[in-house]
Amino acid sequence: MSKRRGFDIDFPAGTETPEQEEFPRGPVGYYTGGGRAKPGASRRGPMAAAISENADALRDRAEAERAIREENDRLAHDYVRLKRAGLITDLVPIDAVLTTKLTRDRAAGPDPEIEELKASIREVGLSNPIRVEPVDDHFELVQGFRRLSAYRELYAETGDEAYARIPAGLVASGEALVGLYRKMVDENLVRRGISFAEMAQLALAFARDPNTETTDTDEAIALLYASAGRQKRSYIRHFATLLEELGDDLNHAEAIPRKLGLDLVKRMGDEEGFTEGLREMLSGQGEVSSDYEVARLADALKTAPKAGPKPKGTSANAAAKTTLRCTVPAGTVRCAARDGKVELAMERDFSSIDRHRLEAAVAAFMAALDE
């Protein structure tokens, strides 16, 4: 068998084959004879180049998106951290701030110092923002009732849009109710002018609130005024007893000095009939000034005792008290019972109930107790 010999054919210029036109010779490094690529040579068409470029672009885009996500996550964590700390501040409309979630510890009525606060805001602005909790499309006030009141008065008086919005620190939504109360209380503990009666009234309202976990006044005082000293908490307990015994008969409880309040509670615990005498005196006085009411209470202490002291252990401070919650179809009833007194509280307007039905319900209640 003869061995086939290979030889080259020189094509005239302009007579290249289609393969040679698609893969031209030259610097690209293709070998035109036999259709095989030289060792180490690359062969890449337009489609391959486009695919490679698109892959590079996708990788770059994915890397950019990953970096953006990481940055957004970091900013989101920082925002939540600052918000929880109350360090996020915004200008919120004064009309969007509600004061209904928390019972305020400031007695209703004119504030003699509000004009000074308004003058300071006009001259230098508000240096200490209020604190609010975002709830749906509005905000619930946590701290800054007087500052908010000053802004509202300034806006009503001047119409200046600068007072239509107030600087506010945003508290993280969903914080426990006791935590919000503590924020309000702790700020006011260092504020001058807050009375023991106002602090006691807040503790009573907290204990009666169906959204809280306690029904006991002493426990409410311990929770709300944990930052206060033991002696101050004791004073607040005395004033809570005073408010529980005299109730709505007192028109200006916030004006009662500490010593007078403590002396009244002691006399109420030691002298039988003294509490009833105070109620009778206060219920018939009508609209009076705070100075007049305080003077009458002080005069009551000067009167001679009308009866001997109560037996040991029956003072108003040491009286036993039972507290409980009862769930009924209409909601949750909070009950506080002590010697000679029982209180039922729930979210319902009992004054709208027909008098005869109310009498029948009370009679049935008392009959059930005697069974």
**Pair (315, 344) in one structural domain:** no
- Amino acid in position 133: E
Query: Above 50 in pLDDT, residue 93?
Result: yes
Q: Tell me which of 113 and 254 has the higher pLDDT.
A: 254
Which of 319, 337, 355 is the last residue before a domain boundary? 319
In the chain, how many domains are there?
2
Task: Give this prediction's pTM.
Answer: 0.49
The two three-digit tokens of residue 88, written as one number: 């996020």
At 97-140, the pLDDT tens digits run 988 777 665 555 566 678 888 888 888 888 788 888 888 888 98
98 strand-pairing partners: 140
**Pair (255, 271) in one structural domain:** yes
Query: Above 60 in pLDDT, residue 309?
Result: no
**Pair (252, 350) in one structural domain:** no
**Pair (253, 315) in one structural domain:** yes
Domain that holds residue 252: 195-319
Residue 16, in any domain of the structure: no
Reported confidence tier of residue 31, pLDDT bands at 50, 70, 90 = very low
At 157-188, the pLDDT tens digits run 999 999 999 998 887 776 667 777 777 776 66
The two three-digit tokens of residue 15, written as one number: 């007579």
Residue 13, in any domain of the structure: no
Residue 50, CB half-sphere, CA atoms under 13 Å: how many? 3
Nearest alpha-carbon partner for 171 in 199, 192, 143 = 143
**Pair (313, 219) in one structural domain:** yes
User: Exposure of 340 by Cβ count < 10 A (0-12 exposed, 13-18 middle, 19+ buried)?
Assistant: exposed
On whether the CB atoms of residues 104 and 191 are closer than 8 A, the answer is no
Residue 246, in any domain of the structure: yes
CA 235 to chain centre: 27
DSSP 194-234: --HHHHHHHHHHHHH-TTSS---HHHHHHHHTTTS-HHHHH
